[in-house]
């Protein structure tokens, strides 16, 4: 039988066509998987953005994303401390489930899966710029890279690694507005410090206003970074298929902020922008956690969410067209703290848990005999933790701690606290009047305390189950903090010693 070339070539043509079509379908499928980019500020409270109601801050880039996207009013971190908050975000788990990673300047046990690794294994290009997870020593536990993924020094450098059709995850972790602030930043930034609203738990003085002004200037710098990243996404043709998350890791670096379970330490700005896929212009009142990022991103990427993640995906909120309270079950938040800085003899931490609803904040302090702000005279859980760099608000409170009108604020920020705290948020939004021991609130306190205990037991918190607390006496990898050396200015103004030892010989 005579064979014709046409009879041979046609089948080959169709095989090639089918193969090409399959490749195109696979590429299309990959392109449909969303990209993710996190733009994270450092030590930044939720209320300090124009879109969250601050009358002084000029943050046009973030405000535009908030107006066109979803602005979450009740977003929180798992812990008011950089490393544990970031570890919780990466693992989708509360800090008490993460052993040594519950601490600042600790390690991050390699057995805990992180969503970045799972995305990478599913085909995503993954990278980070800046801190990522930290501060701490991720190598101590056997990890071969920062849990945030490969480190890059710019988004352009990262993007050059991307293959055609490959989805990506990128985390830009800004240094702003972490202390030390640039002194005089408020002047250079033309910030009107007379219009700043000083919260009532801080003294309203010129020093404090300038300090807040310098903090504001760094937030405005972060906003300019956000604008540049959005422009890059547009130029690269990736904006429409990229979910942009604007957030911080924990609250601001002021007394009753960082390292505290009050809103000023745990409540975050949280904006999600992807108007091509999710209806924007919405303000969401549901309680969400930074931990929820892990299961949400995995679900959107089509990756199975590990059972050990006890956080919850908020994809249902994104896909809804509702605003306000979308999911009625998201009506509370539990936060925690263990060791922040090396601020007490031998690095003893300060264990506490909180239960937050729309109406109340209940806090349980497991170590009421300890100084929550760190041992005097340095009070190292309030930055500057060794008084080694300028911290005008802290210095003012320390210098004037016996002065009428300041003494009460000093006690709120630095004094010891009882085993239980309860705040009626409708009457006391700044959480300054503890009603835990008031007969009027007895029933409320008992209900919240019982609910918190049950939740912690259900979620396997060693503080309540009696299991080993592996963060206790865990290594601390910033040796210099154990022998703090205050600045000459603080030595002179506060009568401090040249060096302190927080290690018993």
Residues 6+ apart with CB under 8 A from 304: 298
pLDDT at 16: 42
Judge whether 349 and 471 are in contact, CB under 8 Å: yes
- pLDDT at residue 17 is higher than 70: no
Pick the closest to residue 477 from 140, 49, 95 (CA basis): 140
Instruction: In whole angstroms, give the CA distance from residue 35 to residue 244.
Output: 9
Q: Is 378 left (phi over 0), alpha (psi -120 to 50) or beta?
A: alpha
pLDDT per position as a tens digit, 143-188? 999 999 999 999 999 999 999 999 999 999 999 999 999 999 999 9
168: helix, strand or coil: strand
Instruction: Give the domains, in start order, of the chain with CATH numbers.
Output: 29-330 (3.40.720.10), 336-494 (no CATH)
Instruction: Please compute, for residue 40, the number of CA atoms within 13 A of its CA located in the half-sphere on the CB side.
Output: 27
Higher pLDDT, 121 or 20: 121
- pLDDT at residue 136 is higher than 80: yes
Confidence of residue 20 (pLDDT cuts 50, 70, 90): very low
Residues 6+ apart with CB under 8 A from 9: none
Distance of CA 211 to the CA centre of its chain: 22
Q: Please, what is the Cα angle at 303 between 301 and 308, to 5 degrees?
A: 125
Q: In the predicted model, what is the mean pLDDT of residues 93-100?
A: 98
- pLDDT at residue 354 is higher than 50: yes
DSSP assignment of 208-262: HHHHHHHHHHHHHHHHHHHHHHHHHHHHTT-STTEEEEEEESS--SSTTSTTSSS
pLDDT at 5: 36
pTM: 0.93
pLDDT per position as a tens digit, 364-411? 999 999 999 999 999 999 999 999 999 999 999 999 999 999 999 999
- pLDDT at residue 438 is higher than 90: yes
Judge whether 221 and 41 are in contact, CB under 8 Å: no
- pLDDT at residue 351 is higher than 90: yes
Q: In the predicted model, what is the mean pLDDT of residues 36-62?
A: 98
Higher pLDDT, 31 or 132: 132
Rg for the chain (alpha carbons), in Å?
25
CA dihedral of residues 108, 112, 113, 115 (deg, nearest 10) = -50
Q: In the predicted model, what is the mean pLDDT of residues 41-63?
A: 98
Token output for 498: 């040249």
pLDDT per position as a tens digit, 183-197? 999 999 999 999 999
- pLDDT at residue 21 is higher than 70: no
pLDDT at 32: 81
pLDDT at 1: 37
314: helix, strand or coil: coil
Confidence of residue 22 (pLDDT cuts 50, 70, 90): very low
C-alpha pair distances (Å), 129 with each of 138, 143, 285, 405: 16, 18, 31, 44
pLDDT per position as a tens digit, 418-437? 999 999 999 999 999 999 99
Query: pLDDT averaged over the chain?
Result: 94
Cβ of 505: how many Cβ atoms within 10 Å? Answer: 3
Pick the closest to residue 259 from 146, 379, 360, 362 (CA basis): 379
Question: How do strand 420-424 and strand 360-365 relate by DSSP bridges?
Answer: antiparallel
Q: Choose the weakest-confidence range: 11-15, 213-217, 380-384, 400-404.
A: 11-15
pLDDT per position as a tens digit, 249-262? 999 999 999 999 99
Distance of CA 188 to the CA centre of its chain: 28
**Residues forming a β-bridge with 247:** 40, 270
Helix ranges (DSSP H) in 101-235: 115-121, 155-159, 185-188, 206-235
Instruction: In whole angstroms, give the CA distance from residue 481 to residue 451.
Output: 37
pLDDT at 370: 98
pLDDT at 358: 98
Residues 6+ apart with CB under 8 A from 6: none
Q: In the predicted model, what is the mean pLDDT of residues 23-49?
A: 79
Helix ranges (DSSP H) in 276-338: 293-301, 315-319
Higher pLDDT, 4 or 367: 367
Confidence of residue 505 (pLDDT cuts 50, 70, 90): low
Instruction: In whole angstroms, give the CA distance from residue 372 to residue 363.
Output: 13
Q: What percentage of the chain has pLDDT greater than the value 90?
A: 93
pLDDT at 444: 98
């Amino acid at each position: 039988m005579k064979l014709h070339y046409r009879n041979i070539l046609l089948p080959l043509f169709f095989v090639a066509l089918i193969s090409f079509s399959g490749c195109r379908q696979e590429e299309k499928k990959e392109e449909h998987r969303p990209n993710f980019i996190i733009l994270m500020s450092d030590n930044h409270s939720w209320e300090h953005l124009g879109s969250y109601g601050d009358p002084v801050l000029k943050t046009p880039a973030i405000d535009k994303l908030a107006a066109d996207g979803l602005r979450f009013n009740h977003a929180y971190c798992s812990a008011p401390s950089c490393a544990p908050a970031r570890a919780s975000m990466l693992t989708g788990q509360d800090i008490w489930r993460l052993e040594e990673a519950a601490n600042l300047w600790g390690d991050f046990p390699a057995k805990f899966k992180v969503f970045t690794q799972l995305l990478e294994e599913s085909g995503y290009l993954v990278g980070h710029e800046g801190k990522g997870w930290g501060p701490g020593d991720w190598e101590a536990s056997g990890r071969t890279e920062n849990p945030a993924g490969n480190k890059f020094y710019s988004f352009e450098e990262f993007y050059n690694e991307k293959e055609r059709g490959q989805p990506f995850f990128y985390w830009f972790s800004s240094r702003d507005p972490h202390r030390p602030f640039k002194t005089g930043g408020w002047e250079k930034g033309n910030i009107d410090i007379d219009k700043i609203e000083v919260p009532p738990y801080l003294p309203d003085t010129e020093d404090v206003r300038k300090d807040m002004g310098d903090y504001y200037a760094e937030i405005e710098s972060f906003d300019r970074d956000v604008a540049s990243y959005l422009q890059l996404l547009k130029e690269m043709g990736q904006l429409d298929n990229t979910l942009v998350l604007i957030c911080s890791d924990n609250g601001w670096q002021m007394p009753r902020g960082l390292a505290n379970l009050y809103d000023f330490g745990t409540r975050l700005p949280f904006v999600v922008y992807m108007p091509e896929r999710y209806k924007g212009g919405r303000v969401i009142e549901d309680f969400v956690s930074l931990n929820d990022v892990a299961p949400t991103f995995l679900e959107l990427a089509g990756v199975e969410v590990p059972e050990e993640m006890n956080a919850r995906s908020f994809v249902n909120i994104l896909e809804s067209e509702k605003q306000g309270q979308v999911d009625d079950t998201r009506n509370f938040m539990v936060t925690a703290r263990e060791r922040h800085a090396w601020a007490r003899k031998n690095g003893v931490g300060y264990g506490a848990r909180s239960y937050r609803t729309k109406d109340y904040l209940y806090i349980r302090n497991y170590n009421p005999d300890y100084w929550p702000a760190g041992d005097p005279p340095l009070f190292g859980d309030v930055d500057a933790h060794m008084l080694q760099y300028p911290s005008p608000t802290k210095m003012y409170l320390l210098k004037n701690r016996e002065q009428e009108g300041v003494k009460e604020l000093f006690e709120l920020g630095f004094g010891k606290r009882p085993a239980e705290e309860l705040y009626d948020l409708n009457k006391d939004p700044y959480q300054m009047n503890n009603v835990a021991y008031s007969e009027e609130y007895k029933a409320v306190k008992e209900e919240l305390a019982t609910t918190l205990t049950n939740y912690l037991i259900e979620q396997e918190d060693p503080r309540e189950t009696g299991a080993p607390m592996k963060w206790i006496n865990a290594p601390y990898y910033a040796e210099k903090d154990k022998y703090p050396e205050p600045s000459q200015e603080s030595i002179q103004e506060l009568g401090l010693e040249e060096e302190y030892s927080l290690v018993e010989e």
